Structure 1
Amino acid sequence: MKPLTQFLFTFILAFSAAAETLYNGIEVPTPWPPADRAPTREPMELPYLKNPPAIIPIDVGRQLFVDDFLIEKTDLKRTFHNAEYYPDNPVLSPDKEWESGESQNHPAPTAMPFSDGVWFDPQTQLFKMWYMGGYVKSTCYAESKDGITWTKPELDVVPGTNIVQTHGRDSATVWLDLLDPDPQRRYKLFSYLRPDDNGRYTIYFSSDGKHWGDPVATSGPTGDRCTVFYNPFRKVWVYNIRAYEPGGVGRYRRYHENADVLEAAKWKEGEPVFWVGADTGDYMRDDLKTPCELYNLDCAAYESLLIGLFSIWRGQPQDRAKPNEICIGFSRDGFHWDRPSHTPFIPVSEQYGDWNWGNVQSAGGCCLVVGDKLYFYVSGRKGVQGSPSSGVCSTGLATLRRDGFASMDAIDGEGTLTTRPVKFSGKHLFINADASQGEIRVDILPTIFVGGRLRTDNPMDPIEGFDATSCTPINTNLTRASVTWKSGQDLSSLANTPVQFRFHLKNARLYSFCVTDDPNGASNGYVAAGGPGLTGSQDVAAPR
Structure 2
Amino acid sequence: MKPQLLFSLLLASSLPAADAPVQIGSRRELFADSFLIESFSGTHLQLQTPRDEGVAFKFDQPWEGLFSGYATLVTLGDGRLRAYYRGKAVANKDGSEEELTCVAESADGRTWTKPELGIYEVIGTRKNNVVLMKAHTATHNFSPFRDQRPGVPEGERFKAFGGTMEGGGLTAWKSPDGLRWEKLAPEPVITKAMVPYKYMFDSQNVPFWSAAEGKYVAYYRVFEGGIRRIVRSESSDFRTWSAPVLMEYRHPSMQAPIEHLYTNQTHPYFRAPHLYVSIAARFMPGRRVLTDEQAAAIKVNPNYFKDTSDAIFMTTRPVEGTAHSGVYDRTFLEGFIRGGIGAQNWVSRTNYPALNVVPTGPHEMSVFVNQDYAQPTAHMRRYSLRTDGFASLHCSYAGGHAITKPVVFAGRELSLNFSTSAAGGVKVGFEDVDGKPVPGFGLEDCVMQIGNELDRKVAWKSGTDVSKLAGKPLRLRISMKDADVFSFQFMP
Equivalent position amino acid for 1:311 in 2: A
Aligned to 1:295: 262
Aligned match of 2:158: 187
Deviations 1:57-94, CA, capped at 9 Å, x for gaps: 11253222334432233313214224424332x21102
Unaligned runs of 5+ in 2: 90-97, 121-125, 193-199, 289-302, 320-324
Letter in 1 for 2:113: T
Matched residues in 2 for 1:47 and 1:411: separation? 40
CA contact (8 A) 1:351 1:357 kept: no
SS at match of 2:337: coil
Comparing 215-224 with 55-64, which one deviates more in the overlay?
Answer: 215-224
Report the residue type matching 1:244 in the other structure.
Answer: F
3-state SS, counterpart of residue 63 of structure 2: helix
Is the CA contact 1:91–1:396 (under 8 Å) kept in the aligned structure 2?
Answer: yes
The alpha-carbon distance between structure 1 residues 345 and 483, as it changes in their structure 2 partners (threshold 3 A), is same
The Cα shift of 1:480 comes to: 1.8
Structure 1 CA distance for aligned equivalents of residues 476 and 118 of structure 2: 56
Please state if 1:72 is matched with 2:26: no
Q: Could you tell me which of 179, 185, 202 is aligned with 1:224?
A: 202
Q: Secondary structure at the match of 1:216?
A: coil
Matching residue's letter, 2:428: V
Matched residue SS, 1:412:
coil
Preserved contact between residue 51 and residue 385 of structure 2 (Cα < 8 Å):
no
Q: How many residues align?
A: 435
1:267-295 Cα deviation digits (max 9, x unpaired) = 6xxx4232248999788xxxxxxx94222
Map of 2:213 onto structure 1: 234
Tell me, in whole angstroms, the C-alpha distance in 1 between the residues paired with 2:267 and 2:107.
Answer: 23
Aligned residue number for residue 93 of structure 2: none
One of 167, 188, 208 as aligned partner of 1:198: 167
The answer to whether the aligner puts 1:484 opposite 2:484 as a matched pair is no
For residue 174 of structure 1, report the CA deviation from its aligned partner: 0.8
Q: Where do residues 111-122 of structure 1 align in structure 2 (5 Å cutoff)?
A: 112=69, 114-115=70-71, 117-121=72-76
Aligned residue type for 1:164? V
- Compared CA separation, residues 256 and 382, structure 1 to 2 (3 A): closer
Residues 281, 342 of structure 1: 8 Å contact kept? no
Alignment match, 1:160: 127
How many percent of aligned residue pairs carry the same amino acid? 23
Give secondary structure in 2 for the equivalent of 1:91.
strand
Letter in 2 for 1:260: D
- The match for 1:172 among 142, 167, 171 is 142
C-alpha spacing 1:352/1:476, structure 2 compared with 1 (3 Å)? same
Q: State the superposition RMSD in angstroms.
A: 3.2
Specify the alignment match of 1:148 in structure 2: 110
- Maintained 8 Å contact 2:34/2:331: no
1:310 and 2:286 are equivalent in the alignment? no
Work out which of the residue numbers 222, 233, 242 in structure 2 matches 1:256. Answer: 233
Cα deviation, residue 255, structure 1: 2.5
What residue is the counterpart of 1:130 in the other structure?
84
1:118-163 superposed Cα distances (whole Å, 9 cap, x missing partner) = 0222x32211111112346211111111101100111131231111
Q: 2: distance between equivalents of 1:82 and 1:444?
A: 27
Judge conservation of contact 1:46–1:337 (CA < 8 Å) in 2: no
Q: Residue in 2 aligned with 1:274?
A: 246
Work out whether residues 43 and 402 of structure 2, in 8 Å CA contact, stay in contact via their aligned partners in 1: no
Q: CA deviation at 1:207?
A: 1.0
Is 1:471 aligned to residue 443 of structure 2?
Answer: no
What is the TM-score with the length of structure 2 in the denominator?
0.79
Residues of 1 paired with 2:25 and 2:7: CA distance? 33
Distance in 1 between the 2:366 and 2:171 partners? 28
Q: List aligned pairs for 1:461-540, cutoff 5 A.
A: 461-464=437-440, 466-517=441-492
Q: What is the rounded CA distance, in whole Å, between the counterparts of 1:399 and 1:461 in structure 2?
A: 39
Instruction: Point out the more displaced range, 183-192 or 353-362.
Output: 353-362
Answer yes or no: is the 8 Å Cα contact 2:250–2:331 preserved in 1.
no
Q: Secondary structure at the match of 2:6?
A: coil
Tell me, what secondary structure is at the counterpart of 1:342?
coil
1:256 deviates by: 1.9
For residues 394-405 of structure 1, what are the structure 2 equivalents within 5 Å?
394-405=379-390
Match of 1:139 among 98, 101, 114: 101
Distance 1:60 1:382 in 2: 43
**C-alpha distance 240-408 of structure 1, shift in aligned 2 (>3 A):** closer
1:214 shift after superposition: 4.1
Q: Matches of 2:385 and 2:237 in 1, distance apart?
A: 33
Counterpart AA for 1:462: V
**Greater shift in the superposed pair: 254-263 or 48-57:** 48-57
Question: What residue is the counterpart of 1:54 in the other structure?
Answer: 20
CA distance in 1, matches of 2:450, 2:144: 42
* Cα 1:418–1:57 shift into 2, 3 Å: same
SS at match of 1:73: strand
Question: What is the match of residue 3 of structure 1?
Answer: none
1:374 aligns to what SS in structure 2? strand
Partner amino acid, structure 2, of 1:151: T
Contact 2:30 2:488 in 1 (8 A): yes
What is the SS of the residue equivalent to 2:343?
coil
Secondary structure of 2:444's aligned partner: coil
